[in-house]
């Protein structure tokens, strides 16, 4: 196997390869662009005109997706997987990955779409670097652009594998992409209704890609992901890499649960209290009238929506950031 297929090993060791470009026997080019960033270019005759960005490790302790990308890249480097798509593998936060923590100083996934310019430190610099790498990758015209940003969650979930679909004014959500996600094992999709500051929101709104944040189970350390079943997603990604992924011209979405954002719970001060147990799972249902959270100056969040559920509850975020999302059932 080519040495550049060991992107994860090199990144965790904090090492750079001696050779920055290597070719497989089939003519696939592997190009080390920066720490945790590797571009795969198929042989010209094999190119299916898909630019596929696969990112993981934006949160350093979410290891199952990192291991999945490592398997795909090693298969490409060994010649077991012949790519027809152009691919950018990105390991988002190497410093946090090496420490086994979510982030070192601040959450990179809250620093995109200009937010890093309002901040400082290594993770703000890394968010800027990731934007530059993604922008360069998606700069070629007349090609399909697709980005999957792979995550696992802090807590368990009533719906284990789900996606967040970003929003951009004037763009419609793609039924074809939702059908593809369903085939990959994604059980539910949250359709967002305002521009975001996550990595997938940046590539969707600013680079014209179809982009998704995929939540794939609960975060565990490296080597302890046996309970995270990514078989269907891995099969889907292999098909995309090989140019074999096809969706019907008139796709039908059958059984996937769709949700929309009803409200975001924003933490304003150290007085913030979230009235949920630490063990609460994503997509837990909340009764109408329930006092969900309180903050300074008598601020109260009371559940008013029918069928409301909570996702990403986290009272430990910094002031000004989202401490949870109330979602409700939706349709396209």
- The residue among 173, 185, 242, 182 whose CA lies nearest residue 210 is 173
The answer to whether residue 256 sits within a structural domain is: no
Residue 319 within any structural domain of the chain: yes
Residues 62 and 211 in one domain: yes
- For residue 82, give its domain range: 3-242
Is the pLDDT at 251 greater than 80? The verdict is no
Task: Check whether residue 204 and residue 298 sit in a common domain.
Answer: no
pLDDT above 80: residue 240 = yes
Q: For 91-128, how does the pLDDT look when each residue is reduced to its tens digit (9 = 90+)?
A: 999 999 999 999 999 999 999 998 898 888 999 999 99
Residue 122 within a domain: yes
The full 3-state SS of 216-255, as one line of letters, equals: EEECCCCCCCCCCCCHHHHHHHHHHHHCCCCCCCCCCCCC
Residue 277 pLDDT greater than 90, yes or no: yes
Report if residue 105 sits inside a domain: yes
CB atoms within 10 A of CB 304: 12
Confidence class of residue 90 from pLDDT cuts 50, 70 and 90? very high
Report the chain's mean pLDDT, rounded to a whole number: 94
The helix/strand count (H/E) of the chain reads as 7, 16
Residue 31 labeled ligand binder: no
pLDDT digits (tens, 9 = 90+) for 190-215: 999 999 999 999 999 999 999 999 99
pLDDT value of residue 166 = 97
Q: Are residues 169 and 44 in the same domain?
A: yes
**186 and 314 in one domain?**
no
DSSP state of 140: S
Strands 37-41 and 21-23, sheet pairing: unpaired
The predicted pLDDT at position 255 comes to 86
Which two three-digit tokens encode residue 212?
């998704």
Residue-wise over 278-296: b if at least 16 C-beta within 10 A, else e?
eebbbbbebeeeeebbebe
Coil, strand, or helix at residue 286?
coil
Task: Tell whether 97 and 144 lie within a shared domain.
Answer: yes
pLDDT of residue 130: 98
Residue 209: inside a domain: yes
Same domain, 230 and 90: yes
Residues 268 and 237 in one domain: no
List pLDDT tens digits, range 28-53: 999 999 999 999 999 988 999 999 99
- pLDDT at position 125: 97
What DSSP assignment string belongs to 24-70?
Answer: -TTS-EEEEEETTEEEEE--GGG--SEEEEEEE-SSTT-HHHHHHHH
Q: Indicate whether 230 and 306 sit together in one domain.
A: no
The residue-averaged pLDDT of 302-323 equals 93
For residue 169, the domain's CATH number is 3.40.630.10
Q: Which CATH number do you get for residue 275?
A: 2.40.50.630
Indicate the number of domains in the chain.
2
For residue 54, tell me if it sits in a domain: yes
Q: Which residue has the tokens 């559940």?
A: 303
Q: pLDDT band at 250, cuts 50/70/90?
A: confident
Contacts of 58 (CB under 8 A, 6+ apart): 92, 93, 108, 109, 149, 151, 199
Separation of alpha carbons 181 and 175, rounded Å: 10
Tell me the per-residue pLDDT of 132-191, one tens digit each, with 9 for 90 and over. 999 999 999 999 999 999 999 888 899 999 999 999 999 999 999 999 999 999 999 999
Whether 273 is in a domain gets the answer yes
Among residues 242, 276, 297, the one where a domain terminates is 242
65 plus 205 within the same structural domain: yes
Dihedral sign for Cα atoms in the order 64, 70, 73, 78: negative
Residues 108 and 53 occupy one common structural domain: yes
CA dist., res. 26 & res. 20, Å (int): 18
Q: Does the pLDDT of residue 252 top 90, yes or no? A: no
Last residue of a domain, one of 193, 208, 242: 242
Residues 57 and 173 in one domain: yes
- Categorize the per-residue pLDDT at 65 as very low, low, confident or very high, splitting at 50, 70 and 90: very high
Instruction: Determine whether the annotation assigns residue 151 to a binding site.
Output: yes
The reply to whether 181 and 318 lie within a common domain is no
| Residue 323 within any structural domain of the chain | yes
59 is in an annotated binding site: yes
By the 8 A CB rule, do 202 and 113 touch? yes
**Over residues 215-241, mean pLDDT:** 88
Please give the Cα distance from 261 to 314 (Å, whole number): 17
Where residue 321 falls among pLDDT bands split at 50, 70, 90? Answer: confident
pLDDT, residue 274, reads: 96
Residues carrying an active site annotation: 215
């Amino acid at each position: 196997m080519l040495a550049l297929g060991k992107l994860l090993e090199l990144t965790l060791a904090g090492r750079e390869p001696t050779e920055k470009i290597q070719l497989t026997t089939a003519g696939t080019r592997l190009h080390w662009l920066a720490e945790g960033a590797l571009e795969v270019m198929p042989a010209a005759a094999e190119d299916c005109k898909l630019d596929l960005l696969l990112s993981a490790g934006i949160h350093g302790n979410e290891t199952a997706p990192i291991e999945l990308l490592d398997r795909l890249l090693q298969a490409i480097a060994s010649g077991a997987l012949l790519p027809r798509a152009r691919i950018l593998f990105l390991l988002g936060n190497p410093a946090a990955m090496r420490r086994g923590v979510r982030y070192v100083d601040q959450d990179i996934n809250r620093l995109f779409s200009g937010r890093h310019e309002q901040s400082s430190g290594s993770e703000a610099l890394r968010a800027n670097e990731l934007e530059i790498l993604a922008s360069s990758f998606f700069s070629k015209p007349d090609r399909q652009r697709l980005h999957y940003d792979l995550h696992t969650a802090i807590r368990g979930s009533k719906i284990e594998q789900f996606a967040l679909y970003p929003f951009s004014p004037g763009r419609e959500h793609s039924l074809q992409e939702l059908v593809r996600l369903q085939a990959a094992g994604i059980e539910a999709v949250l359709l967002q209704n305002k521009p975001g500051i996550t990595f997938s929101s940046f590539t969707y709104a600013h680079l014209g890609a179809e982009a998704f944040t995929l939540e794939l189970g609960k975060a565990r350390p490296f080597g302890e992901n046996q309970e995270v079943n990514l078989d269907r997603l891995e099969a889907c990604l292999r098909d995309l890499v090989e140019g074999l992924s096809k969706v019907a011209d008139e796709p039908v979405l059958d059984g996937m649960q769709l949700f929309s954002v009803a409200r975001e719970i924003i933490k304003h001060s150290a007085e913030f209290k979230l009235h949920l147990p630490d063990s609460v799972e994503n997509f837990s249902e909340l009764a109408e009238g329930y006092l969900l959270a309180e903050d300074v100056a008598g601020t109260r969040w009371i559940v008013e929506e029918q069928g409301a559920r909570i996702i990403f509850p986290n009272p430990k975020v910094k002031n000004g950031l989202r401490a949870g999302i109330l979602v409700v059932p939706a349709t396209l």
